[in-house]
Amino acid sequence: MKNPFEKMPTILLADEIIDKAFRRAEKVASAFNPRGGVVSKARQREELRIRTVSNVIRDNLKKVLDRTPGVSTLPPFYQELLDTLVDKRTFHKALASINWAIKTIRTLEERYVEKIRYSRDPKEIAQLRREFYGRVASVIKDIAENLEYLNKARDVLKDMPVIDLSLPTIVIAGHPNVGKSTLLRKLTNAKPEVASYPFTTKGINVGQFEEHWMKYQVIDTPGLLDRPLSERNEIEKQAILALKHLGKLIIYIFDPSEYCGFPIEEQMHLFEEIYEEFGEFPFIVVLNKIDIADEEKIKKIEEFLRAKGIEPLRISAEKGIGIEELKERVIKILKPEMEAIAHSMGKIEGE
């Protein structure tokens, strides 16, 4: 899976496009050696200038459309991220304006070439070409703000996290320093890849593990699911909505040792908010750092969770305690989905 916007080209601004097209037209015209009389030569040279300006501008604009995925073609996860980062409606309108400019310039090209072919006055022919230049420059300046917007959007979108949307994804949540990154490393047995999340202070951590020829994806999203939702800005809230399209299972981590710097009561409060926000997802709750935590505090969290019908799992990510049992729970919950994926890929006989 690749970032859908990684091929989006650098977008020239309005003045840059106009300057490039006009320079190219003059260069081509100066090297051109037309034949015939004065009028014929004027027609050929000015038609060449018009065609060149039109082609250069339309080619540059078309490259943007060809290398930029349409909003409606994106998976829901990336649509939400797009909306979070650059506002998908504005993005769609900006692309539509480029399409309008391409069609308009093509129409102007044909109209002015036809006028030139009917003219018998070299001065009038030159005037028609200048008129065309002015009309084209006006069209490009009409979309100048959209070009500038798309160029800035590209700088943000090329840093979108690369997630394999074909794999069931486990999202790790919990306060900072409770052991999320350590657990991710233990589950995936590999150094997690870190991808940039432009709306968080840290990168998203992505890892995978394989069991029975099936791959599972695990992600940790620092800055998103590690503090109360009431403290979040609109961008972060939108990012959490994006995660809902991605995740299939939440692993929530408590630190009963409180070495993370957050009292148990605060950890319980955050859990209740995340549990309510992601209520449609299955949860696996783990109590980490049991090798150094006070038994009384462990039991206090267990009582809190059992009152909600949740049976937590005791682990020590650092020591590797309980990791295999945690994997078994993950696989058991996600087994139906994994079988459906395998079936769709032809690896399982019909049911």
Amino acid at 345: M
The CATH architecture annotation of domain 14-157 reads Up-down Bundle (1.20)
pLDDT of residue 151: 93
Alpha-carbon separation of residue 160 from 5, 62, 79, 196 (angstroms): 8, 23, 11, 6
Q: Which residues of the chain have pLDDT under 50?
A: 194-201, 348-349, 351
What's the angle, vertex CA 231, arms to CA 158 and CA 222, rounded to 5? 45
DSSP state of 73: G
pLDDT of residue 181: 83
Phi and psi for 250 in degrees, rounded to 5? -110, 130
pTM for the whole thing? Answer: 0.71
pLDDT of residue 199: 43
Q: Tokens in use for 342?
A: 């395998």
| Helix or strand holding residue 350 (H, E) | none
pLDDT of residue 145: 97
Pairing state between β 247-254 and 169-173? parallel
Amino acid at 323: I
Question: Residue 168: exposed, middle, or buried by beta-carbon count in 10 A (0-12, 13-18, 19+)?
Answer: buried
User: Please, where in the chain does CATH 1.20.120.1190 lie?
Assistant: 14-157
Domain 169-344 fold: Rossmann fold (3.40.50)
Do the Cβ atoms of 67 and 9 come closer than 8 Å? yes
User: Please, where in the chain does CATH 3.40.50.300 lie?
Assistant: 169-344
pLDDT of residue 223: 60
Q: Tokens in use for 345?
A: 């890929």
Q: Tokens in use for 31?
A: 């090297």
Can you tell me the distance from the alpha carbon of 331 to that of 351, in angstroms, rounded to the nearest whole number?
Answer: 20
Long-range CB contacts for residues 35-39, cutoff 8 Å, separation at least 24 = 38/122, 39/120, 39/121, 39/122, 39/125
pLDDT of residue 196: 45
pLDDT of residue 190: 54
Q: Distance of alpha carbon 22 from its chain centroid, rounded?
A: 35
